[in-house]
Chains A and B, each alone.
Chain A
Amino acid sequence: MSTCALPRPFGFPMTQTGVGVSKESIDIKALLEEATRSFSLPASFSWRESLMTKVEEIFERCVQAGWDGYDAEPISFDSRLATLKAIALLPDNIVPPDAVPEPAGEISLEWRSGNDLLFSLTVTGRTLIYASIVGGHSRQHGEEQFFDRLPKTVLEILAQYFCRR
């Protein structure tokens, strides 16, 4: 896990309060505290959070049938929940995926590095569907049950090919 814990900025006295402290300095203190909190969070927090935001945005945007210009089904509430759950369970030290709406009304998580490493994962309810291309001729695809943890197959692919160095 990569944690980016920065020292307190400029040695600002974070506990300074009381009479004689201006409103501006209280505002600055609040901002610095917020910044310190952000810096103390694991690096994975920011991509995980923005990915979850993207899932929510897709869910809201793809609410009508035919959102893809063809016959796509609306993104289902179940798919949204299952995808958010999968994101929460992803390891910290991986390359962040992209979230992509699929015509069956689901959301996939996509990893791609160049033209030789591709991994696509779709979770809906308790089913997880995946397919990968890793290198010239290595292909895998399958379906797994999804409960409270990501299946070993998926974790192995992520660890082996999409680990953040």
Chain B
Amino acid sequence: MIDSLRRFWRFLLSIFVGADHLPDRVLPEEPVSRFILDKDQFRQERGFIYPAAFLPSKKTANTSVYRVESLPETRIWQLAEKFVTALRADKKPVLARADIKAKTAFHQDLAIQPDRLPHPRHANIINSPADRPAQKAKALELAKNAKLRVRPEAASS
């Protein structure tokens, strides 16, 4: 019975979010995106992302990301729209995203843990040190290796 329910759940995921093929464990070559909602955390004209975009939340000690393996651009921005902006009371738009390979985080002794809420592709960068200079150093490495993707609507505005 449980197996049937699992299969049905996977079927639903494959139909609606295309998440059926994601492995339970995040693989080193897997791309993950950090959605950026603050205009000062990146510099569009220079293609820079600032480390602040990767610093963990003080509340959760994690950095929220999305697993974007095999998703086309439009689907990635749809995720941002439906599962980040739409869930906020103020409907603040996602302006850009910072893309890294999972192994960039792994090289910093960070881990990426699938969270699956509010979406099956949601995950968290975890194992951030409590020591703040060390946190900053790791965020600097992630920012250095990240690729900035500015949301087309934001880039043209």
A contact set with B: CB distance below 8 Å? 58, 62, 66-73, 98-105, 108, 110, 112, 115, 118, 120, 122, 129-133, 139, 141-143
Per a CB cutoff under 8 Å, which of B41, B43, B133 touches A68? B41
Task: Describe A's contact surface by its main secondary structure.
Answer: strand
**Chain B interface residue number, banded:** 20 to 34
User: Given A100-B52, A120-B51, A142-B133, A69–B140 Cβ distance below 8 Å?
Assistant: no
Instruction: Other than A70-B57, A120-B51, A131-B136, give 7 A-B pairs with Cβ distance below 8 A.
Output: A71-B58, A100-B41, A103-B55, A104-B132, A131-B133, A131-B139, A133-B140
B134-157 Cβ-contact flags toward A at 8 Å (1 or 0): 101101110110000000000000
CB distance from A66 to the nearest CB of B (A): 8
Check B52–A102 contact: CB distance below 8 A: yes
Check B58–A103 contact: CB distance below 8 A: yes
Check B50–A104 contact: CB distance below 8 A: no
User: Given A103-B57, A108-B50, A120-B51, A130–B136 Cβ distance below 8 Å?
Assistant: yes
User: Given A69-B37, A108-B51, A131–B140 Cβ distance below 8 Å?
Assistant: yes
CB distance from B59 to the nearest CB of A (A): 4
